[in-house]
């Protein structure tokens, strides 16, 4: 299975800045056979970057889109409009869940819309600090996972990636807030068991699982060696070219 290194640029970079960054990133990277490098710029930058990107080196992802293919939805962009422009889509990111109020029903529709339009959804799941404190992690993970996949056919499961992002570890600068490899291991086991119990072990093994949560060059190697982790979803460090390239190189070393 490939290793996936996904950079989520969130609400950063102008179109010009994104173009310059992408140009530098493409120059810094060779063609990797077993490592899929993905960047998710702001939506306004996607179209020009889709004309610039070398898809042998880097794939593009959209940070969010609407589940209807067309209609009277002012201000929204559909997955159907992105077909051919991006290869991946972040769906259910914690910032969409907890800032903009997306629920599992909405997220499930977006996962299905992405698959329907030939875009691989990266379904983001993860518990908050209070949910972990009250020992609700397992329930939250199961509910978000099964809820998010509820509108796709079993045959389409291999089109989906799962990203475990504990909300309490995102954008943290305190060591105490970082998820430990043991904590990640426990949740990855839970994800795999839930998928296996629902879809069968053979199908579950096809689903890549990524980890995200204050990933940096200093901890990327530890997370990538967690059994069952097939890649990383990176926020802040993906905005710094040298750090992002370092993480990609660490991923290659872990593979070998």
As a whole number of angstroms, the distance between CA 61 and CA 5 comes to 12
CB 21, CB 12: distance < 8 Å: no
CB under 8 A, 24+ apart: contacts of 202-205: 203/154, 203/157, 203/158, 204/157
The Cα–Cα gap between 69 and 72 comes to 10
Q: Which of 102, 177, 165, 178 is nearest to 137 (CA)?
A: 165
**10, 18 in Cβ contact below 8 A?**
no
Encoded tokens for 65: 């889109």
Q: Is 196 exposed, middle or buried (0-12, 13-18, 19+ CB in 10 A)?
A: middle
Residues annotated as catalytic (active site), given as ranges: 93, 165
Q: Provide, for the chain, the percentages of residues in helix, strand and coil under a 3-state DSSP scheme, each rounded to the nearest 5.
A: 50, 15, 35
């Amino acid at each position: 299975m490939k290793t996936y290194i996904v950079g989520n640029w969130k609400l950063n970079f102008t179109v010009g800045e994104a173009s310059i960054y992408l140009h530098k990133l493409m120059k810094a990277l060779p063609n990797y056979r077993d490592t899929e490098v993905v960047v998710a710029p702001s939506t306004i930058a996607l179209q020009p970057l889709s004309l610039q990107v070398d898809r042998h080196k880097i794939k593009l992802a959209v940070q969010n889109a609407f589940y209807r293919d067309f209609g009277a939805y002012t201000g929204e962009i559909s997955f159907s409009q992105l077909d051919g422009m991006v290869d991946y889509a972040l769906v259910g990111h914690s910032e969409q869940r907890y800032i903009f109020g997306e629920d599992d029903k909405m997220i499930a529709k977006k996962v299905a819309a992405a698959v329907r339009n030939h875009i691989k959804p990266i379904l983001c799941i993860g518990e908050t600090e209070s949910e972990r404190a009250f020992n609700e992690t397992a329930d939250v993970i199961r509910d978000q996972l099964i809820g998010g996949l509820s509108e796709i056919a079993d045959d389409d499961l291999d089109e989906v990636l799962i990203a475990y992002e504990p909300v309490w570890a995102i954008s943290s600068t305190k060591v105490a807030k970082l998820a430990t490899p043991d904590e990640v291991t426990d949740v990855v086991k839970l994800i795999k068991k839930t998928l296996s119990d629902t879809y069968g072990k053979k199908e579950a093994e096809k689903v890549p699982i990524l980890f995200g949560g204050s990933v940096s060059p200093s901890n990327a190697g530890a997370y990538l060696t967690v059994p069952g982790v097939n890649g990383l979803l990176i926020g802040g460090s993906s905005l710094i070219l040298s750090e992002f390239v370092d993480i990609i190189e660490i991923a290659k070393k872990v593979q070998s």
